[in-house]
Structure 1
Amino acid sequence: MQRYGAVIGLKPEQIADYKRVHADVWPDVLAQIKASNITNYSIFLREPENLLFAYYEYTGTDHDADMAAMAADPITQQWWALCMPMQAPLDSRTEGEWWAATEEVFHLD
């Protein structure tokens, strides 16, 4: 099992809508997340900075392939088209990233 964390900004005028859509995530999106071997997935919001922090655990054997399968899923693409305009990617993110990857510096089981 591998752990992943990522950060992105959230546009202040979109906070209520972002919370609303995530209170009722589409079942097909949830199914794809599970099919991509993602468990224990959470998104946290830090206000007033309006930063989202996502955390998940990956239980598969090929993270890149599972993420590519998720990205190719038409329903997931529709979900991302809904959510991405609400987000504000960090200027410091690596080229090709939407959510900026984070480094785990401490963990306790």
Structure 2
Amino acid sequence: MRRVAQVIRLRPEKADTYRELHRNVPEAVLERLRGSHIANYSIHLLGDLLFSYFEYHGEDLEADLAAIGEDPATQEWWKLTDPCQEPVGQAAPGEWWAPMEQVFLMPEPKAERP
């Protein structure tokens, strides 16, 4: 399993629209995400920063992300959500959601010996 965390800026004037859109994500979009081995996906907001997190359970993240990008339902969804967002300054050229570096992961508790 691979953890993926990303950040993007939310256009302040689009905050209400973005929240409303995410109250009713189309089932076809969710099915495509699940079909691409994505689980535990969430998006959080602080000020004008959107933080997303998901867990990837597949073998080829790039191919699965490409399948999401080629999905007609997802393309229609992005036509609604993309105008609400803009890349952060740290994003690479052409990058939309900027990947974040994991600096800590709580370890599993050590098993006690009987």
What TM bracket, shorter-length normalisation? over 0.9
Query: What residue number does 1:36 align with?
Result: 36
Once residues 93 and 57 of structure 2 are traced to their aligned partners in structure 1, the CA distance between those partners, rounded to angstroms, is 26
Once residues 29 and 67 of structure 1 are traced to their aligned partners in structure 2, the CA distance between those partners, rounded to angstroms, is 13
Structure of higher CA gyration radius: 2
Cα distance, 1:96 vs structure 2 = 2.7
Q: Which residues of structure 2 form unaligned runs of 5+?
A: 109-114
Runs of 4+ in 1 over 3 A off after TM superposition: none
Cα distance, 1:70 vs structure 2 = 0.5
Cα distance, 1:88 vs structure 2 = 1.6
Identity of paired residues, percent? 46
1:46-67 deviations in Å (ceiling 9; x for gaps) = 02xx100000000000101100
Query: What residue number does 1:27 align with?
Result: 27
Q: 102, 108, 113: which one pairs with 1:104?
A: 102
Query: What residue number does 1:65 align with?
Result: 63
What is the aligned residue count?
Answer: 107
Cα distance, 1:94 vs structure 2 = 1.1
Query: What residue number does 2:8 align with?
Result: 8
TM-score (norm 1): 0.95
Cα distance, 1:95 vs structure 2 = 2.1
1:17-64 deviations in Å (ceiling 9; x for gaps) = 1000101100000000100100000000002xx100000000000101
**Structure 1 letter corresponding to 2:19:** K
Once residues 60 and 35 of structure 1 are traced to their aligned partners in structure 2, the CA distance between those partners, rounded to angstroms, is 10
Once residues 14 and 24 of structure 2 are traced to their aligned partners in structure 1, the CA distance between those partners, rounded to angstroms, is 16
SS across alignment from 2:65: helix
**Structure 2 letter corresponding to 1:16:** D
Q: Which residues of structure 1 form unaligned runs of 5+?
A: none
TM-score (norm 2): 0.91
SS across alignment from 2:96: coil
Cα distance, 1:91 vs structure 2 = 2.2
Once residues 66 and 35 of structure 1 are traced to their aligned partners in structure 2, the CA distance between those partners, rounded to angstroms, is 8
